Amino acid sequence: MPKHSAPRPPLVVHIELAGIEPAIWRRLMVPASITLPQLHEALQAVLGWHDLHLHEFRLPGRTYGVPDPDGASDPRLIDEAGLSLVGLLESGITLSYVYDLGDHWEHHISLEAQRPAKEPPTLPFCLAGANAGPPEDTGGPGAYVAFIEAMANPAHPEHEAMLEWYGQLFDPTAWDIERVNRRLKHLQQTWQR
């Protein structure tokens, strides 16, 4: 009689946006079977991105992503389709996720050894985090700092322009874990279809 192996326990990953202080980070529990395309979708959800730009996953000497169907991609780019996160992170190496190759939002992703005793009802699930993700198209880490300074100071020469561009005031410390988990629950439902 064939043996059935027990399903692998979920993974807990730590994601931190590089080059930003105070740190923008999330702790995310994901299924052990999560693929890189699914991880990309989960990262978009937890950081408030809207998948408007290209992305890549990077390890030393290797870059994974979605090849351009017109052949304009770097020929060294490895198609991420079907690749699992667990296969890349078991070595203990930090994985980089770069979103918006022009603005270059680099995220460091590492596997955490600790798992909560109780698993949430649906995966992926955000366990913790801090600070709002930067709005799309703010121009990368340096421009984001300038954006925050302008938004926080009504006397700043760029305040009105930034307010008009963004459409409302922006609080870089505002972050709603319940909203993030609603986005993740919806995402999980799409994975089951």
97-115: average pLDDT: 89
Of residues 113 and 176, more confidence is placed in 176
29-56: average pLDDT: 93
Q: Which amino acid is at 102?
A: G
Q: Which of 43-47, 121-125, 172-176 shows the lowest mean pLDDT across its residues?
A: 121-125
Q: Which residues sit opposite 98 in a β-bridge?
A: 56, 106
pTM of the model: 0.90
Residue 91 to residue 88: CA distance in whole angstroms: 7
Residue 93 to residue 96: CA distance in whole angstroms: 10
E strands, the chain, where? 11-17, 25-30, 55-59, 62-65, 78-79, 95-99, 105-112, 125-130
pLDDT at 137 over 90: yes
pLDDT at 163 over 90: yes
Q: Which amino acid is at 181?
A: N
Q: How confident is the model at residue 91 (pLDDT cuts 50, 70, 90)?
A: low
List pLDDT tens digits, range 48-83.
Answer: 999 999 999 999 889 999 987 776 667 789 999 989
Name all domains of the chain by residue range, CATH numbers in brackets: 11-133+175-192 (3.10.290.30), 134-172 (no CATH)
Of residues 111 and 129, more confidence is placed in 129
List pLDDT tens digits, range 9-27.
Answer: 888 999 999 999 999 999 9
